[in-house]
Structure 1
Amino acid sequence: MSRSNPTAIEEGSTNVYEDLGYAHAAEMQRKAQLAAEIARTIQARGLTQQDAAALVGIDQSKISRITRGQFRGISEAKLLDLVTKLGHDVKIVIGPIQRRAGRIELQFA
């Protein structure tokens, strides 16, 4: 980068999918967060992908795709189910009614 031709830098939001203009960006971000937690849990527990697949009841190839962030075609509900099968508790809290559209937010303990 030369001083005569600086590159413009634009600060993004907290959702890269939204920044890139994807439809359903919030859902994609949640699925990415769940997939990342699945990958972290497998590593933290010292499981092979084969062991993890047997534990959660899906094919090793699907575990491989999920841990690489390739979760297209896998529902949020299925990812939540996998998280619980790997030993996490999942709590869903329905908040009070707002005068705006509600939102879904993930928090990891």
Structure 2
Amino acid sequence: MARDFNELADRAKADWPDAARKVYTEASAGFAAELTERAELGSMLAAARKARSLTQPALSELTGIQQAEISRIERGTGNPTAATLLRLADALGQRVMLVPFNR
């Protein structure tokens, strides 16, 4: 009997064709990278907010973005739009940059 989810998943994946395992591995890596990027964005937002001695509610007042959404972004669980990021950056005296990356 499987002890945990990972063991159960590994047993299920053992029957997958190589192509399916490759797709799963690549998708998992992409998902993990996205979570890391969201966490980094959240940390940068929180640091910029704190450097301005602002609370989340104060930043919410400045931007019109709900405090709960600011919290989600700072925790890395939000998925902000470009407009949201631009409003936050403007209120914090920051700018948004697009940086190339390789996947």
* Length-normalised TM-score, structure 1: 0.51
Instruction: Write the letter of the residue equivalent to 1:103.
Output: F
From the two aligned structures, give the one with the greater helix fraction.
2
- In structure 2, the partner of 1:32 is 39
1:91 correspondence with 2:97:
yes
Instruction: Write the letter of the residue equivalent to 1:85.
Output: A
Q: CA RMSD in A?
A: 2.8
Asked if the contact 1:37/1:83 (under 8 Å) is kept, the reply is: no
Gaps of 5+ in 1: 1-17, 94-101, 105-109
Q: How many residues align?
A: 75
1:65 aligned counterpart, secondary structure: helix
Which structure 2 residues correspond to residues 4-15 of structure 1 after superposition, within 5 A? none
Deviation at 1:36, TM superposition (A): 0.8
Identity of aligned residues (%): 37
Asked if the contact 2:49/2:59 (under 8 Å) is kept, the reply is: yes
Asked if the contact 2:41/2:74 (under 8 Å) is kept, the reply is: no
Q: Give distance in 2, aligned partners of 1:78 and 1:28.
A: 20
Instruction: Write the letter of the residue equivalent to 1:27.
Output: E
Which structure 2 residues correspond to residues 39-58 of structure 1 after superposition, within 5 A? 39-58=46-65
* Length-normalised TM-score, structure 2: 0.54
Q: 1:84 to 1:31 in 2, by over 3 A?
A: farther
Q: Give distance in 1, aligned partners of 2:35 and 2:62.
A: 25
Q: Deviations over 1:55-103 (max 9, x none)?
A: 22211121222223322x434x35632234321123336xxxxxxxx72
Asked if the contact 1:35/1:79 (under 8 Å) is kept, the reply is: no
